[in-house]
Copies of this chain bind each other. A is one copy, B any other.
Amino acid sequence: MPKAYLSPRNLRFLLHEVFHVGDLCQYPYYADHNGETFDMVLDAAKQLADKLLLPLFREMDRQPPEYIDGRITVHPQVRTLMRAYGEGGWIPASFAYAEGGQQLPVTIANLVGFILGAANYSASIFPFLSTGAANLIRTFGAQDLKQTYIPPMMAGEWQGTMALTEPQAGSSLSDVQTSAKPTDGEYYLIKGQKIFISAGDHDGVDNVVHLMLARIKGAPVGVKGISLFVVPKKRPENGQLIGNDVFTAGMYHKMGYKGAPIAHLIMGDQADCRGWLVGEANKGLSYMFQMMNEARLGVGMGAASIASAAYYCALEYATERPQGRPLAAKNPMTPQVAIAQHPDVKRMLLFQKSVVEGSLALLTQCGIYTDHEKMSEGPAKHDYFLLLDLLTPIAKTYPSEMAIQTTSAAIQVLGGYGYTEDFDAEQFFRDTRIHPIHEGTTGIQGLDLLGRKVLMEDGKAFRLFINEVNQTIAQAIAVPSLEAQADKLAVHLDQLAAITDYLATLAKTVPAEVFLADATLYLEYFGIVAIAWQWLKQGLVAQQALHAEIGEDDRHFYQGKLHTLRYFMEYELPKTLGLHARLLSLDRVTVETQASYLG
């Protein structure tokens, strides 16, 4: 039996009882599927994860990739994995049949990512990146690009990447300098450097296909002059793969997430690096945002998945480890009890459970919005787009930031053992620390949420969100045992709305720097309210389910949901009080502090 790293029961609960994902099959595109086939897909993913990913969890950490003479070698099993992803059809799972896909809802594809990530996050990112890269070419690329690059990526033979970051630019994409020089041929000559490219080079595949941002000579400065290119490591010519002047200059040695090779690339040192334009010139950044938004949800899912594995690691230890006695029974002659009996340990476990299952619910919610947005038309489509766009920075950041704390809590539950390499808790803590950094730091997500998303279309996305939450509140208020929780969420939602109005007004009167100084805190606030919403939603279903004739296991499962809802409302939701006080304050200390004061 592989150890537990997620709850299949919880996946079924979310899919069928909370989100009724089978309803998506009313769309003709998904008509071949139903709730049962979705379960089968997730079961198959779990089997793959158990069989191939889980056994490599520690190994890929202890034997990380190596960079030797301009090449990165990864764990030898990565090649086996890539073929398994290819043969199982996992990489294009959500693509259309005509494109080699399975027309699975994005909701399901995302949950596959959760399962793989919980078993072995490093191993899960290879296919994920290929899916995103293939999807970009599929959506915006010319026919010949599609034919050349998508099939081998779908087969797991070639690796896809997204290549944005540059040494001098970091998060500041307007400073991208990689250049693309038009030629007489159909290609451009690429010259520049990219850093922090995930799976940017490795020997588990025969080729690497970079979806790369670069600036065509003479293009406008800033983000409006950025174009998107396909830049393969090796280019196909006359049925052969020949070097494309993409040099792997180095590999980052990381604290965690070690199984995944992160590369530093230099293009065009020999003036022979060819890139093929995707879509129109100077529209690269908007294209890239398709992959970036997918990747941001993927990062949130990755954080939730690691947090899930850490939670089950801590739970197993806590239920098996005897230590101490109930505080009221200090007689040292009585047997010790499992530490899961101590309220402070239960608090740490409930904390983890609330973050893991709350995050997973919000990410599933985002998957549902994505599928509806893909399938619907007209105003409804736009509404779904707005909800998804608004919630993306939250669904990326809440799990990412909180997983640091929950994996830390997992270590704490294990005590001294948690700090040792004999248990997995420490690896989860190291692995998950990347998430608030990659695909846009938490600071960037805050600016995106407050500086753009809540203000866009005169606040329409925000109003749609409020409506969604109010629907859940209205349902819960009608259930006597949930009324108090519903009231509590209503109060906090009102406060979030008031703070948002206040900040939107402030935006008109103060410099952007002042208005956005605490955007990260606003994001944190919003995240807590959004997760509270998802807990109330789950509590509604659980409360109803307890009225039916159910078995002991189900009763404990639903009680667990109701207790975790209570935990969240009691311990997590009040964290907004401090954020609220700060966001209303007029003291601009961070703006006014000079760097020279900090020494």
Contact = CB atoms under 8 A, between A and B. Distances in A.
Nearest to A340: B595
Contact of A593 (B350, B437, B512): B350
A585 B570 contact: yes
Contacts of A192: none
Nearest to A333: B221
A593 B563 contact: yes
A567 B589 contact: yes
A452 interface: no
Interface stretch (A140-148, A166-174, A272-280): A166-174
A195 B415 CA distance: 12
A438 interface: yes
Interface in A574-589: 574-579, 581-582, 585, 587, 589
A308 B556 CA distance: 46
Contact of A566 (B451, B575, B587): B587
Contact of A599 (B411, B556, B591): B556
Report the contact-size class of chain A (Cβ under 8 Å from the partner). Answer: 35 or more
Given A332-B221, A343-B590, A416 B430 contact: no
Interface in A427-470: 429-430, 433-434, 436-438, 441-443, 446-447, 451
A478 interface: no
A195 B327 CA distance: 25
The quantity of this chain's copies bound in the complex is: 2
Contacts of A363: none
Nearest to A416: B196
A127 B222 CA distance: 56
B332 A598 contact: no
Contact of A255 (B330, B420, B577, B592): B420
Nearest to A568: B589
A172 B420 contact: no
Contact of A412 (B441, B557, B589): B441
A327 B7 CA distance: 44
A297 B591 CA distance: 35
A282 interface: no
Contacts of A592: 563
B408 A404 contact: yes
Nearest to A514: B343
A98 interface: no
A436 B412 contact: yes
Given A353-B598, A512-B328, A408 B421 contact: no
A560 interface: yes
A570 B322 CA distance: 42
A286 interface: no
A345 B345 CA distance: 34
Given A253-B422, A577-B578, A594-B556, A513 B344 contact: no
B350 A590 contact: yes
A595 B437 contact: no
Contacts of A343: 513, 516-517, 590-591
Contacts of A419: 252, 254-257, 433-434, 437
Most buried by B among A169, A327, A350, A592: A327
9 contacts: A172-B324, A174-B330, A319-B595, A340-B598, A346-B593, A349-B598, A412-B441, A574-B582, A577-B578
Given A328-B512, A570-B585, A574-B582, 15 more contacts: A170-B416, A253-B422, A328-B513, A346-B598, A350-B589, A412-B436, A415-B437, A415-B441, A556-B594, A556-B597, A563-B589, A567-B593, A574-B577, A574-B578, A577-B581
